[in-house]
Amino acid sequence: MQSFPPPYCDADQVDGTLRAYGYAVLSPAAVAQWAGSPPAEMAALGSHWEGMPHDAYLKDGGRYRKRRHSCYVVHDGQVEAVAHRAHWQPVEYNALHGGMQRWFEPVEAASKNLPAWNHILQALGRTAQALFASDSAEPWYTEAHQFRIDTAEGIGRPTPEGAHRDGVDLVAVFLVAREGIKGGETRVFDAQGPQGLRFTLTEPWSLMLLDDARMIHESTPIQPLGEAAGHRDTLVVTLRRQAFQGDGV
Protein backbone atom coordinates (compact mmCIF):
# COMPACT_ATOMS: atom_id res chain seq x y z
CA MET A 1 0.00 0.00 0.00
CA GLN A 2 1.64 3.20 -1.17
CA SER A 3 1.87 5.99 1.40
CA PHE A 4 2.42 9.64 0.51
CA PRO A 5 4.26 11.88 2.99
CA PRO A 6 2.49 14.89 4.51
CA PRO A 7 3.29 18.31 2.99
CA TYR A 8 4.56 19.84 6.23
CA CYS A 9 4.92 23.58 6.67
CA ASP A 10 6.81 25.45 9.38
CA ALA A 11 5.04 26.86 12.43
CA ASP A 12 5.54 30.44 11.27
CA GLN A 13 3.98 29.61 7.89
CA VAL A 14 0.65 28.33 9.18
CA ASP A 15 -1.47 31.45 8.61
CA GLY A 16 -0.07 32.13 5.15
CA THR A 17 -0.37 28.50 4.06
CA LEU A 18 -3.99 28.33 5.18
CA ARG A 19 -4.83 31.51 3.28
CA ALA A 20 -3.06 30.31 0.12
CA TYR A 21 -4.22 26.70 -0.02
CA GLY A 22 -7.08 26.22 2.44
CA TYR A 23 -5.07 23.69 4.45
CA ALA A 24 -1.83 23.46 6.42
CA VAL A 25 -0.05 20.36 7.72
CA LEU A 26 2.43 20.52 10.61
CA SER A 27 5.02 18.08 11.91
CA PRO A 28 5.09 17.27 15.65
CA ALA A 29 7.99 19.68 16.16
CA ALA A 30 6.09 22.45 14.37
CA VAL A 31 2.96 21.71 16.41
CA ALA A 32 4.94 22.04 19.65
CA GLN A 33 6.25 25.42 18.48
CA TRP A 34 2.88 26.63 17.15
CA ALA A 35 1.04 25.61 20.33
CA GLY A 36 3.77 26.66 22.75
CA SER A 37 3.59 23.19 24.28
CA PRO A 38 6.79 21.12 24.63
CA PRO A 39 6.78 17.58 23.17
CA ALA A 40 6.72 16.07 26.66
CA GLU A 41 3.45 17.88 27.39
CA MET A 42 1.93 16.58 24.16
CA ALA A 43 3.08 13.05 24.92
CA ALA A 44 1.47 13.23 28.38
CA LEU A 45 -1.86 14.15 26.79
CA GLY A 46 -1.55 11.29 24.28
CA SER A 47 -1.84 8.70 27.06
CA HIS A 48 -5.46 9.76 27.71
CA TRP A 49 -7.06 7.83 24.84
CA GLU A 50 -7.37 4.58 26.77
CA GLY A 51 -10.68 3.30 28.14
CA MET A 52 -12.97 5.54 26.10
CA PRO A 53 -16.65 4.55 25.63
CA HIS A 54 -17.98 3.28 22.32
CA ASP A 55 -19.81 5.61 19.97
CA ALA A 56 -23.44 4.48 20.34
CA TYR A 57 -24.72 6.42 17.32
CA LEU A 58 -23.02 4.69 14.37
CA LYS A 59 -25.76 3.95 11.84
CA ASP A 60 -23.76 1.16 10.20
CA GLY A 61 -24.01 -0.82 13.44
CA GLY A 62 -20.25 -0.93 13.92
CA ARG A 63 -18.36 -0.81 17.20
CA TYR A 64 -15.05 0.37 15.74
CA ARG A 65 -15.26 3.94 17.09
CA LYS A 66 -14.75 5.20 20.64
CA ARG A 67 -15.30 8.83 21.44
CA ARG A 68 -15.45 11.67 23.97
CA HIS A 69 -16.62 15.23 23.34
CA SER A 70 -16.50 18.57 25.18
CA CYS A 71 -17.23 22.18 24.22
CA TYR A 72 -15.60 25.55 24.92
CA VAL A 73 -15.64 29.19 24.02
CA VAL A 74 -12.17 30.46 23.14
CA HIS A 75 -11.97 34.25 23.25
CA ASP A 76 -9.01 36.61 23.32
CA GLY A 77 -6.60 33.95 24.60
CA GLN A 78 -8.98 32.59 27.24
CA VAL A 79 -10.54 29.12 27.21
CA GLU A 80 -13.93 28.77 28.90
CA ALA A 81 -15.56 25.36 29.26
CA VAL A 82 -19.32 25.34 28.68
CA ALA A 83 -21.97 23.01 30.08
CA HIS A 84 -21.90 19.56 28.53
CA ARG A 85 -24.02 19.54 25.39
CA ALA A 86 -24.95 17.32 22.47
CA HIS A 87 -22.97 17.27 19.24
CA TRP A 88 -25.23 18.22 16.33
CA GLN A 89 -24.69 18.67 12.61
CA PRO A 90 -27.20 19.36 9.84
CA VAL A 91 -27.74 16.68 7.20
CA GLU A 92 -26.28 19.06 4.63
CA TYR A 93 -22.86 18.47 6.20
CA ASN A 94 -23.28 14.93 7.54
CA ALA A 95 -25.76 12.92 5.50
CA LEU A 96 -25.19 9.81 7.64
CA HIS A 97 -25.41 11.18 11.18
CA GLY A 98 -26.74 14.71 10.67
CA GLY A 99 -29.93 15.89 12.35
CA MET A 100 -29.25 13.81 15.48
CA GLN A 101 -28.59 15.02 19.00
CA ARG A 102 -25.57 12.89 19.85
CA TRP A 103 -24.70 12.90 23.54
CA PHE A 104 -21.16 11.59 23.92
CA GLU A 105 -19.39 11.17 27.23
CA PRO A 106 -17.37 14.30 28.08
CA VAL A 107 -13.60 14.55 27.95
CA GLU A 108 -12.30 13.55 31.37
CA ALA A 109 -11.09 16.22 33.78
CA ALA A 110 -7.68 14.57 33.97
CA SER A 111 -7.25 15.25 30.24
CA LYS A 112 -8.66 18.76 30.23
CA ASN A 113 -6.44 19.79 33.15
CA LEU A 114 -3.21 18.98 31.35
CA PRO A 115 -1.26 22.01 30.05
CA ALA A 116 -1.21 20.75 26.45
CA TRP A 117 -5.02 20.72 26.26
CA ASN A 118 -5.32 24.41 27.04
CA HIS A 119 -2.33 25.32 24.87
CA ILE A 120 -3.87 23.56 21.86
CA LEU A 121 -7.21 25.37 22.23
CA GLN A 122 -5.50 28.74 22.67
CA ALA A 123 -3.35 28.18 19.58
CA LEU A 124 -6.39 27.24 17.53
CA GLY A 125 -8.16 30.38 18.70
CA ARG A 126 -5.20 32.47 17.55
CA THR A 127 -5.11 30.76 14.17
CA ALA A 128 -8.86 31.15 13.64
CA GLN A 129 -8.65 34.81 14.63
CA ALA A 130 -5.80 35.44 12.21
CA LEU A 131 -7.50 33.63 9.34
CA PHE A 132 -11.13 34.72 9.59
CA ALA A 133 -11.59 37.68 11.89
CA SER A 134 -11.00 41.40 11.78
CA ASP A 135 -8.84 43.26 14.29
CA SER A 136 -11.43 42.84 17.05
CA ALA A 137 -11.29 39.58 18.99
CA GLU A 138 -14.18 37.20 18.34
CA PRO A 139 -15.42 34.33 20.50
CA TRP A 140 -14.83 30.93 18.89
CA TYR A 141 -17.35 28.19 19.64
CA THR A 142 -15.13 25.17 19.93
CA GLU A 143 -15.86 21.43 19.99
CA ALA A 144 -13.14 18.92 20.91
CA HIS A 145 -13.51 15.24 20.05
CA GLN A 146 -11.28 12.40 21.17
CA PHE A 147 -11.52 9.47 18.72
CA ARG A 148 -10.16 5.96 18.75
CA ILE A 149 -10.84 3.91 15.59
CA ASP A 150 -9.91 0.26 16.04
CA THR A 151 -9.76 -2.85 13.87
CA ALA A 152 -11.25 -5.35 16.34
CA GLU A 153 -13.99 -6.07 13.76
CA GLY A 154 -11.51 -6.17 10.87
CA ILE A 155 -12.08 -2.70 9.42
CA GLY A 156 -12.37 0.67 11.16
CA ARG A 157 -13.80 3.73 9.45
CA PRO A 158 -12.49 7.12 10.59
CA THR A 159 -15.05 8.96 8.43
CA PRO A 160 -18.04 6.67 7.81
CA GLU A 161 -19.92 9.67 6.38
CA GLY A 162 -17.38 9.88 3.52
CA ALA A 163 -15.83 13.04 2.13
CA HIS A 164 -17.42 15.97 3.90
CA ARG A 165 -17.28 19.44 5.37
CA ASP A 166 -18.13 20.04 9.03
CA GLY A 167 -20.15 23.27 8.83
CA VAL A 168 -17.65 25.27 10.88
CA ASP A 169 -14.83 27.71 10.14
CA LEU A 170 -11.64 25.89 11.17
CA VAL A 171 -11.04 22.15 11.50
CA ALA A 172 -7.99 20.66 13.23
CA VAL A 173 -7.12 16.95 13.05
CA PHE A 174 -4.26 15.86 15.30
CA LEU A 175 -2.89 12.35 14.88
CA VAL A 176 -2.31 11.14 18.44
CA ALA A 177 -1.33 7.51 17.83
CA ARG A 178 -1.22 4.90 15.08
CA GLU A 179 -0.62 1.31 16.15
CA GLY A 180 -0.70 -1.93 14.14
CA ILE A 181 -2.72 -0.68 11.18
CA LYS A 182 -2.55 0.03 7.48
CA GLY A 183 -4.70 2.55 5.63
CA GLY A 184 -5.98 5.71 7.26
CA GLU A 185 -4.91 7.93 4.37
CA THR A 186 -5.99 11.57 4.65
CA ARG A 187 -7.60 13.09 1.55
CA VAL A 188 -8.45 16.76 1.09
CA PHE A 189 -10.24 18.27 -1.90
CA ASP A 190 -10.99 21.77 -3.11
CA ALA A 191 -14.72 22.24 -2.49
CA GLN A 192 -15.03 24.32 -5.69
CA GLY A 193 -12.80 22.40 -8.07
CA PRO A 194 -11.04 19.15 -8.99
CA GLN A 195 -7.81 19.73 -7.06
CA GLY A 196 -7.01 17.26 -4.31
CA LEU A 197 -4.23 15.95 -2.11
CA ARG A 198 -3.58 12.64 -0.37
CA PHE A 199 -1.10 11.80 2.36
CA THR A 200 -0.80 9.70 5.49
CA LEU A 201 -0.21 11.13 8.94
CA THR A 202 2.06 8.71 10.81
CA GLU A 203 3.87 10.78 13.46
CA PRO A 204 2.16 11.30 16.84
CA TRP A 205 1.00 14.91 17.22
CA SER A 206 1.26 15.80 13.57
CA LEU A 207 -1.61 18.08 12.55
CA MET A 208 -3.83 18.97 9.61
CA LEU A 209 -5.64 22.34 9.66
CA LEU A 210 -8.49 23.09 7.23
CA ASP A 211 -10.50 26.11 6.16
CA ASP A 212 -13.79 24.21 6.26
CA ALA A 213 -15.58 26.42 3.73
CA ARG A 214 -12.90 25.76 1.13
CA MET A 215 -11.97 22.13 1.68
CA ILE A 216 -13.66 18.72 1.76
CA HIS A 217 -11.88 15.96 3.67
CA GLU A 218 -11.98 12.29 4.57
CA SER A 219 -9.79 9.50 5.97
CA THR A 220 -9.79 6.07 4.36
CA PRO A 221 -10.63 2.90 6.35
CA ILE A 222 -7.99 1.15 8.43
CA GLN A 223 -7.19 -2.55 8.62
CA PRO A 224 -4.94 -4.54 11.00
CA LEU A 225 -1.36 -5.21 9.96
CA GLY A 226 -1.41 -8.66 11.53
CA GLU A 227 -3.70 -10.88 13.58
CA ALA A 228 -3.90 -8.46 16.51
CA ALA A 229 -6.25 -5.50 16.35
CA GLY A 230 -4.73 -2.05 15.91
CA HIS A 231 -6.04 1.47 16.34
CA ARG A 232 -5.76 5.08 15.19
CA ASP A 233 -6.23 7.85 17.76
CA THR A 234 -7.04 11.44 16.80
CA LEU A 235 -8.04 14.69 18.42
CA VAL A 236 -10.43 16.64 16.20
CA VAL A 237 -11.23 20.23 17.15
CA THR A 238 -13.61 22.52 15.28
CA LEU A 239 -14.06 26.28 15.71
CA ARG A 240 -17.07 28.29 14.56
CA ARG A 241 -18.08 31.93 14.76
CA GLN A 242 -21.39 33.19 16.24
CA ALA A 243 -22.64 29.98 17.88
CA PHE A 244 -22.42 26.23 18.15
CA GLN A 245 -24.19 24.32 15.42
CA GLY A 246 -27.77 23.65 16.44
CA ASP A 247 -28.17 26.94 18.29
CA GLY A 248 -30.14 28.58 15.50
CA VAL A 249 -27.34 30.62 13.91
- Alpha-carbon Rg for the chain, nearest whole angstrom, is 17
Mean pLDDT for 56-64 is 90
Domain 13-241 has CATH 2.60.120.620: yes
Mean pLDDT of the chain: 94
Per the confidence metrics, is the pTM higher than 0.75?
yes
d(CA 228, CA 112): 31
Task: Provide the pLDDT for residue 3.
Answer: 81
Task: Provide the pLDDT for residue 137.
Answer: 85
Mean pLDDT for 203-210 is 98
Question: Is-contact 232 177, C-beta < 8 A?
Answer: yes
Question: Is-contact 148 54, C-beta < 8 A?
Answer: no
Mean pLDDT for 210-214 is 97
247 or 19: which leads in pLDDT? 19
Task: Provide the pLDDT for residue 246.
Answer: 83
Task: Provide the pLDDT for residue 98.
Answer: 64
For helices 39-46 and 115-132, angle between their N-to-C axes, nearest 10 degrees: 110
Task: Provide the pLDDT for residue 191.
Answer: 92
Residue 242 has pLDDT above 60, yes or no: yes
Q: Could you tell me which residues come within 8 angstroms of residue 54 by beta carbon, excluding any fewer than 6 positions away?
A: 63, 65, 66, 67
Mean pLDDT for 37-48 is 96
Residue 10 has pLDDT above 80, yes or no: yes
Residue 22 has pLDDT above 60, yes or no: yes
- Residue 190, SS3 per DSSP: strand
Q: Which of 184, 198, 188 lies closest to 232, judged by CA?
A: 184
How far lies 45's CA from each of 132, 204, 213, in Å?
28, 11, 30
Q: What is the band of 193 on the pLDDT scale with cuts at 50, 70, 90?
A: confident
Share of the chain above pLDDT 70, in %: 96
Question: Is-contact 118 207, C-beta < 8 A?
Answer: no
Residue 43 has pLDDT above 90, yes or no: yes
φ/ψ of residue 167, rounded to 5: 80, 25
Task: Provide the pLDDT for residue 209.
Answer: 98
Task: Provide the pLDDT for residue 78.
Answer: 96
Share of the chain above pLDDT 90, in %: 84
Q: What is the band of 134 on the pLDDT scale with cuts at 50, 70, 90?
A: low
Mean pLDDT for 220-246 is 95
Residue 207 has pLDDT above 90, yes or no: yes
